[in-house]
Amino acid sequence: MLKIKNIDAFFGKIQVLRRVSLHVERREIVSLIGANGAGKTTLLNVISGLHPSQNGSRIFLDGEIRGLKPEKIVALGILQVPEADKVFNPLTVLENLELGAYLRRQDQGQLVPEMEKVYQLFPILRDRQGQLAGTLSGGERQMLALGKALMGQPQLLMLDEPSLGLAPTVVSEIFRIIRSLNDRGITILLVEQNAKEALRICHRAYVLDTGRILLTGTGEELLNNEEVKRAFLGKDYRGKWER
Ligand SMILES: Nc1ncnc2c1ncn2[C@@H]1O[C@H](COP(=O)(O)OP(=O)(O)OP(=O)(O)O)[C@@H](O)[C@H]1O
Ligand SMILES: [Mg+2]
C-alpha cells in the first residue's frame, strides 16, 4: 500500500532522517518505535506532505506522492492523527466529526451513517456531541481524534502516539480500538513510545534510531530481540506476542 525509499529530512542544516525506507502492506498494522527525537513524527509528516523532503520516493497505491500537497495526500486516503492539536478545541464534538468528513468527501449524503458507525465505536462521543472539544478529557479527545479521522474514510491511518499521557485503562481501550479498526480493513502505521503494546498488536515493526531504521521484523521477533528488550522493554521483560 505504501512504500517509502531512501527518505532524508532536515531541520535547517540538521539531518533528522537518513535514508529511511519502509513499507506497509494492505491491512497490516505496522508499528514504528524509537526514543524521543528519533524522527518518528518527522517521518509521518514527510509521508503526509507536511515536512519537505527532496529525495527518495514514496509510493502510495502505485502512485508517487512526493511533492503533492497535504490536502491532495489526504484526498488519496492517507490520514494522520497528530501527536498534538489532534482536534479543534473551539469546535464541538459534532463539528469536529463533520470537519473530518469534509476534508475528504464530495458526497455529504453519506455523513449520517458514517457518523453512526463512529458513535457505535465511541458511545461517549454521542453523549458529548454538543460539548466543546477543548473541554474533553485526554482519553475522550483521543477518541474524537480517531473518530474525526474515520469520518474521512482513511485507507491508511497514521497514528502518532495515540496512548501518550493516558491512564492505563484508557491506553488498553485505545489499543483495543486500533486493533478493531484494523479488523475492519483499515491499514495502520502506528508511532508509539509504548513499545510493548505497539509490538504486541502489530504485524511488523521498525525501530528508528536517530533518523535511521535500525531494526525491522515481526512484532514477535522484536519483542524477543535482546537489543529491543534492553532499550525499550526493561531487562526482565519476556516477550509475549498476542496477535
Ligand atoms: N520545528 C523543529 N525545528 C527544529 N528541529 C526540530 C523541529 N521539530 C523537530 N526537530 C528535531 O528533529 C528531531 C526529530 O524530531 P521528531 O519530532 O521527529 O522526533 P520523534 O521521534 O517524534 O520524538 P518524540 O518521541 O519525542 O515525539 C529531533 O531532534 C527534534 O529536536
Ligand atoms: Mg513525535
For residues 145 and 237, membership in a common domain is answered with no
For residues 124 and 221, membership in a common domain is answered with no
For residues 73 and 170, membership in a common domain is answered with yes
Q: How far apart are CA 160 and CA 68, in angstroms?
A: 21
Q: Which atom of ligand 1 is nearest to the CA of 45?
A: 18
Contact of 171 with 197, CB cutoff 8 Å? yes
Q: Which among 120, 119, 108, 185 is positioned nearest to 152, based on CA atoms?
A: 108
Asked if residue 82 belongs to a domain, the reply is no
* Atom 5 of ligand 1, residue of closest alpha carbon: 11
Q: Residue 3 forms beta bridges with which residues?
A: 23, 59
For residues 126 and 189, membership in a common domain is answered with no
Q: Which atom of ligand 1 is nearest to the CA of 12?
A: 4
Looking at residue 81, what DSSP letter applies? E
Helix (H) or strand (E) holding 79: strand 78-81
- Check residue 107 and give its pLDDT: 64
Q: Cell numbers for 210, please give them.
A: 536517530
For residues 230 and 214, membership in a common domain is answered with yes
Residues 6+ apart with CB under 8 A from 177: 121, 122, 143, 146
- Check residue 94 and give its pLDDT: 96
Residue 193 Cα to ligand 2 middle (Å): 9
Q: How far apart are CA 137 and CA 116, in angstroms?
A: 22
* Atom 18 of ligand 1, residue of closest alpha carbon: 39
| Domain count for the chain | 2
- For residue 33, the ligand closest to its alpha carbon is 1
Q: Which atom of ligand 1 is nearest to the CA of 40?
A: 21
- For residue 160, the ligand closest to its alpha carbon is 2
**Side-chain half-sphere exposure of 188, counting CA atoms within 13 A:** 29
For residues 160 and 46, membership in a common domain is answered with yes
Which domain does 95 fall in, by range?
89-151
Looking at residue 122, what DSSP letter applies? -
- For residue 45, the ligand closest to its alpha carbon is 1
Confirm or reject: Cβ of 20 under 6 Å from ligand 1: no
Residue 40 Cα to ligand 1 middle (Å): 8
* Atom 30 of ligand 1, residue of closest alpha carbon: 37
The domain boundary, picked from 151, 168, 194, lies at 151
- Please list the pLDDT of the chain residue by residue as tens digits (243 residues): 999 999 999 999 999 999 999 999 999 999 999 999 999 999 999 999 999 998 999 999 999 999 999 999 999 999 999 988 889 999 999 999 999 988 766 566 678 888 999 999 999 999 999 999 999 999 999 999 999 999 999 999 999 999 998 988 899 999 999 999 999 999 999 999 899 999 999 999 999 999 999 999 999 999 999 999 988 887 666 666 666
Residue 127 Cα to ligand 2 middle (Å): 31
Pocket test of ligand 1: the residue of 42, 53, 192 to mutate, having most ligand atoms within 8 Å of its CB, is: 42
Ion ligand 2 neighbours (CB, 5 A) are: 40-41, 83
* Burial class of 211 by CB neighbour count within 10 A (0 to 12, 13 to 18, 19+): buried
The domain boundary, picked from 126, 151, 176, lies at 151
Q: What SS3 class is residue 16?
A: strand
* Atom 6 of ligand 1, residue of closest alpha carbon: 11
- Check residue 156 and give its pLDDT: 97
Confirm or reject: Cβ of 11 under 6 Å from ligand 1: yes
Q: Give the gyration radius of the chain's Cα atoms.
A: 18
For residues 122 and 242, membership in a common domain is answered with no
| Neighbour-count burial for 67-92, b at 16+ CB within 10 Å, e otherwise | ebeeeebbeebbbbbbeeebbbeeeb
Contact of 177 with 169, CB cutoff 8 Å? no
Q: Which among 32, 38, 35 is positioned nearest to 80, based on CA atoms?
A: 32
- Check residue 193 and give its pLDDT: 86
- Check residue 238 and give its pLDDT: 65
CATH number of the domain that 228 lies in?
Answer: 3.40.50.300
For residues 158 and 142, membership in a common domain is answered with no
Q: Which among 69, 227, 83, 87 is positioned nearest to 143, based on CA atoms?
A: 87
Asked if residue 11 belongs to a domain, the reply is no
Query: Phi first, then psi: what are they for 193, rounded to 5°?
Result: -85, -30
Residue 150 Cα to ligand 2 middle (Å): 21
